[in-house]
Chain A
Amino acid sequence: MESILFSQLKKNLKKDTTGFKETKLAVLGNCATQLLSQTLRGYAYELKIALNVFDADYDQLEPQTLDPNSELFTFEPNYILIQLCSEKLQLEFCDSSPEEQESFANRVMARIQEYWRRIEARMKAPILQFDFVEINDGVFGNFGLKTQKSFLYQIRKLNMLFSEAASKDKQVFPIALNSLSAQVGRDAFFDPQLFYIAKMPIQVDFLPQIAKRVFDTVEALAGHFRKCAILDLDNTLWGGVVGDDGMEGIRIGELKDGKIYSDLQRYFKELRNRGVLLAVCSKNEYDAAIRPFREHPEMVLREDDFVMFVANWEDKASNIRRIRETLNIGMDSIVFIDDNPFERNAVRSQIADLTVPELPPEPEKYLDFLRKSNLFETVSVSGEDAKRTQQYREEAQRTESAATFASYDEYLQSLEMVAEAKPFDDFHFARIAQLTQRSNQFNLRTVRYTESDIKRITKDDHFITLYFTLRDKFGDHGLISVVILEKRDNGTLFVNEFLMSCRVLKRGMEEFIINKIISTAKENGFTLVEGEYIRTQKNAMVAQLYTQHGFTDCGNGIFHADPNTYTFTPNYIKES
Chain B
Amino acid sequence: MMDRQEVFKRLNEIFQDIFEDENIVVTDETCADNMDGWDSLRHITLISSVEREFGFKFAMKEILEMENVGIMADIIVERATK
Interface residues of A (CB under 8 A from B): 6-7, 10, 14, 34-35, 193-194, 196-198, 200, 204-205
Pair A204/B60 contact, Cβ less than 8 Å: no
Instruction: Determine the chain A residues whose CB is within 8 A of the CB of B27 once the complex forms.
Output: none
- Check if B1 is an interface residue, CB within 8 A of chain A: no
For the complex, what is the distance from the CA of A200 to the CA of B44, rounded to whole Å? 10
Given A14-B20, A35-B41, A204-B45: 13 more A-B contacts, CB < 8 Å: A7-B17, A34-B41, A35-B45, A193-B57, A193-B58, A193-B60, A194-B44, A197-B60, A197-B64, A198-B41, A198-B43, A198-B44, A204-B44
Q: In angstroms, how far is the closest chain B Cβ from the Cβ of A422?
A: 70
Residue of A14, A34, A196, A205 touching B48 (CB-CB under 8 A): A205
A-B contact count (CB 8 A): 32
A35 / chain B contacts, CB cutoff of 8 Å: 41, 44-45
- When C-beta atoms are compared, the residue in chain B nearest to A205 turns out to be B48
The contact string, 1 if C-beta is below 8 Å from chain A, for chain B 27-71, is 000000000000011011100110000000110100110000000
Chain B residues numbered 1-29 whose CB sits less than 8 Å from any CB in chain A:
17, 20
Residue contact A196 to B60, C-beta cutoff 8 Å: yes
When distances are taken between beta carbons in the complex, the residues of chain B under 8 Å from A200 are: 44
Of the candidates B40, B45, B57, B63, the one whose C-beta lies within 8 Å of that of A7 is B45
What separation, in Å, do the CA atoms of A14 and B17 have in the docked complex? 12
What are 14 A-to-B residue pairs whose CB atoms are below 8 Å? A6-B48, A7-B49, A10-B45, A34-B41, A35-B44, A193-B58, A193-B63, A194-B44, A197-B44, A197-B60, A197-B64, A198-B40, A198-B41, A204-B45
CB distance from A537 to the nearest CB of B (A): 51
Q: Once the chains bind, are A6 and B60 in contact (CB under 8 Å)?
A: no
Q: How many whole Å from B43's CB to the nearest CB in chain A?
A: 8
Which of B20, B57, B63 is A197 in contact with, Cβ under 8 Å?
A: B63
Contact between A6 and B44, CB atoms less than 8 A apart: no
Q: Which residue of B lies closest to A14 (CB)?
A: B20
Give chain A nearest CB distance to B39 CB in angstroms.
10
User: In the complex the two chains form, what is the Cα distance from A317 to B35 in whole Å?
Assistant: 54
A191 to chain B, nearest CB (A): 9
B10 to chain A, nearest CB (A): 15
- Select from chain B the residue with minimum beta-carbon distance to A38: B41
| Closest 9 A/B residue pairs (Cβ) | A204-B48, A198-B44, A193-B60, A34-B41, A7-B49, A198-B40, A197-B63, A35-B41, A14-B20
- The residues of B that contact A34 with a CB separation of less than 8 Å are 41
Cβ–Cβ < 8 Å partners of A193 in chain B: 57-58, 60, 63
> Which residues of chain A are near B41, meaning CB under 8 Å?
34-35, 198
